[in-house]
Amino acid sequence: MKSPDNDSARRQPFRFGRRLFLAATGCAPVASLLAADPPRPVTQASVPDDPAAPKEQVGTVPPSSPFDEPLIFARKDLTPRVKPFSLTQVRLLPGPFLSAQEANQALLRRQDADRLLHTFRINAGLPSSAKPLGGWEKPDSELRGHFAGHYLSGCALMYAATGDPQLKSKADYLVTELGKCQDRLGNGYLSAFPLLLFDRLRARQRVWAPFYTYHKILAGMLDAHQLCGNQAALQIARGMADWVDHWTAALTPEQMQTVLDEEFGGMNEVLYNLSAITSLPRYASVGDRFTKKRFFNPLALRRDQLRGIHTNTHIPQVMGAARRYELTSDMRFHDVADAFWRQVVDTRTYVSGGTSNNEGWLTEPNHLAQELSLRRETNECCCAYNMMKLARALFTWSGDSRIFDYYERNLYNHRLGTIDLTNGHTQYFLTLGAGSWRTFSAEEDSFWCCSGTGVEEFSKLADSIYFHDGNGVWVNLFIPSELEWEERHVRIRQTTGFPAEARTTLEIITESPQQFALKLRIPSWVSGPASISINGKASEVSADAGSYLVVHRSWRRGDRVELSLPMGLHVEAMPDDPSLQAFLYGPVVLASRLDTVKLPDSLVVGFQAPDLKKQPPPDIPPLRAEHADVRRWDRASRNALDFEVPGDRRLTFVPFNSIGPGERYSIYWKVV
Ligand SMILES: [Zn+2]
């Protein structure tokens, strides 16, 4: 999330975004200012003139522009290959994911709803004596109210995932009280800031992303409706969308395109969702107004023109494209989502599964080593969250197991370690530079974008473990959990110590025999043939890495399937510097702790990224090639994923996600 430079004393020093800068220095439309930029060949790497202020690239004019034609929304639903189970059907069992969920659940319970409502009530002219929140929620922050939307989604998701009645009550209370604010404001508008911010947006004056915040509240209302059954939330959402219709209808299409140069979250997606829920196409037509042609046109033509653009401004737009494809089967939107996915995952993703640097893409594709050398603020957590949502959508179209290779990489190496289990606080950037350390939000003085996606993320860890189709259950992740497949009167209980143990066990619980297929994902990283046994007897069924192993039979109560997934150490080098290498065991990225002493909270809490200047530069000599030869490494203990590197330098590698707050680490190593 791009923040203005006057926002927070603890803000990191780099922030002054390209578009905000332009708006502040004369309000000229971005496109016209950049139109003189020469087109840049996409395959040739070059360093931006000023990495701190990457140029937003217009690029070459496509020979045809699929999104320049007026869009007409016509519902024609896509038939997905696989469908997700609802969150209410899956429960996590003890393990690291349940621990993360519980830390977030406690955080959601601690939040005071009246404090979240304070700025909404003030804006609506209603009394409030609550103590204002700080950080991005403080009363003069232009993003105020965004966290309430995330919080509503987080409570609704957590209620679905756990049945926690306390969080349902808090969500219902928020909906009721926000409804009073909406009634008072009139015209359906609901926000914690006045319409003045939208006036400035229309005039292209300096403003901090009002539609971004509006989207969070609208999405929170839909989640409260769909997951908590709150009918009033749907009516509030419709009122909010009616106001958006009114506001956007007053603009010419050209004016609207300039408005879309300011970050607007997933306004297109949430309006498509509202259209699907209400069966009213007009909301989708309003969603179509949020089609940023300058971004979608090259994607539809499968051109990578991502260099220089702000990452998390654009991922939610692609999720909107994916949703519109699902509702209309319009291939233009499919191509946008598919091309974007491939560009980011194949050429712009670090070993951790995350993407972005300084919140943008600073280089041409496949220049990650160069990008890492430019800035240390890699891997914004919001980007990982949104890319995983996109992955989930794409998977339902194809059932391609490789999408879950990506998802799993992100889940274990980016997401799992970014929550502090002692308090539920989460990270902003997951920095990959050598000598970095994890920094976390403060309880009352952060409320960053990533704090918002964090309370959603860690409420829905159960949502992609299992999928289903007409024939059976797809098992994508190896996480201790229990699936209640009510439609088939079957429960499946998965128990595993994965990834510390390279296997998982599935137990079928059913009153009477049930015929269905069990489709087990065989990850691309397996180091040998995967195998299964059923009720202790080895099965001859096999499958290649990067596919599904399918067992179709009549299942009886107590049937047990054991899946073995051989794991090994392997190396992943940077595409533009083969000597810069990271080490993995199966899907798990390994890191080396650089110190035995943790840094104090004064360097950890409330910082979006580590301030490396406050510590001596790390002393990390290059790794000699024989030490980087993972065939020579020893496993430090039987039950943990710790490895020792033999030789004169005593190095130990551990799972990156086990590195705690304030511990300095190294991920990528120079190998000579
Ligand atoms: Zn963020």
Residues 6+ apart with CB under 8 A from 597: none
Task: Report the chain's terminal Cα–Cα distance, integer Å.
Answer: 38
> 3-class SS at 642?
coil
Distance 379 CA to ligand 1 centre (A): 9
CA triple 240-243-248, angle to 5 deg? 125
Quick one: pLDDT at residue 54?
42
Beta sheet of 466-468, edge-to-edge order:
83-84, 466-468, 472-475, 514-522, 547-555
Contact 104, 454 (CB under 8 A): yes
Going from the Cα of 385 to the center of ligand 1, the distance in angstroms, rounded, reads: 9
Q: Please state whether 163 falls in left (phi above 0), alpha (psi between -120 and 50) or beta.
A: left
How far apart (Å, rounded) are the C-alpha atoms in residues 148 and 455?
A: 11
CA 3 to ligand 1 centroid distance, Å: 10
Residue position matching structure tokens 């020469």: 38
Burial class (CB in 10 A: 0-12, 13-18, 19+), 373: middle
Q: Note the Cα 8 to chain centre separation in Å.
A: 24
- pLDDT for res 376: 86
Distance 201 CA to ligand 1 centre (A): 21
472-475/466-468 β-pairing: antiparallel
User: 15 alpha carbon to ligand 1 midpoint, in Å?
Assistant: 13
The Å distance, Cα 384 to ligand 1 centre, comes to 9
Question: Is the bond into 29 cis (omega within 30 degrees of 0)?
Answer: no
Kindly give, in sequence order, each residue whose CB lies less than 8 Å from that of residue 269, ignoring residues fewer than 6 positions away.
287, 316, 319, 320, 322, 323
Interatomic CA distance for residues 183 and 185, integer angstroms: 6
> How many angstroms separate the alpha carbon of residue 382 from the centre of ligand 1?
4
Q: What is the rounded distance in angstroms from the CA atom of residue 584 to the CA atom of residue 474?
A: 26
Residues 6+ apart with CB under 8 A from 153: 216, 219, 220, 223, 224, 455, 456, 459
Q: Are 145 and 119 in contact (CB under 8 A)?
A: yes
Distance 419 CA to ligand 1 centre (A): 14
Burial category of 359 from C-beta neighbours within 10 Å (exposed 0-12, middle 13-18, buried 19 and up): buried
Instruction: State in Å: Cα 211 to ligand 1 middle.
Output: 16
Q: How far is the CA of 447 from the centre of ligand 1 (A)?
A: 10
Report the separation in Å between the CA atom of 312 and the middle of ligand 1, taken as the mean of its atom positions: 7
How far, in Å, from the CA of 61 to the mean position of ligand 1? 31
Dmax (CA) for the chain in angstroms is 74
List alpha helices for 126-205, DSSP H.
146-162, 165-185, 196-202
Q: Which residues contact 578 (CB under 8 A, 6 or more apart)?
A: none
Tell how far the Cα of 321 is from the centroid of ligand 1, in angstroms. 21
Residue 236 burial class via C-beta count within 10 angstroms: exposed 0-12, middle 13-18, buried 19 and up = buried
Give CA–CA dist 402/392, Å, rounded.
Answer: 12
Task: Give the whole-angstrom CA distance, residue 506 versus residue 489.
Answer: 16
Say if CB 656 and CB 436 are below 8 A apart. no
What is the predicted pLDDT for the residue at 247?
Answer: 98
3-state secondary structure of 453: helix
Structure tokens at 491: 């429960």
SS3 state at 467: strand
What pLDDT shows up at residue 25? 27
Distance CA 80, CA 467 (A): 11
- Cα-to-chain-centroid distance, residue 482: 24
Span from the CA of 62 to the centroid of ligand 1 (angstroms): 31
The H or E element that residue 270 is part of is: helix 267-278
Could you tell me which of 542, 416, 351, 344 has the C-alpha nearest to residue 98? 416
Give the residues of the chain that fall short of pLDDT 70. Answer: 2-63, 639, 648-649
Residue 639 pLDDT: 65
Q: Can you tell me whether residue 289 is helix, strand or coil?
A: coil
Helices (H) then strands (E): counts for the chain: 19, 20
CA dist 574 → 223, 350, 524 (Å) = 39, 8, 19
Quickly count: other Cβ atoms within 10 Å of residue 524's Cβ.
17
For the stretch 250-256, contacts whose Cβ atoms lie closer than 8 Å and that sit 24 or more positions apart, written own/partner, are 251/202, 253/289, 255/202, 256/289
Q: Classify burial at 3, counting beta carbons within 10 Å of its beta carbon; exposed 0-12, middle 13-18, buried 19 or more.
A: buried
Cut 0.85: pTM above it = yes
How many Å lie between the centroid of ligand 1 and the Cα of residue 225? 25
Tokens of 331: 């291939």
The tokens of 286 are what? 């309003």
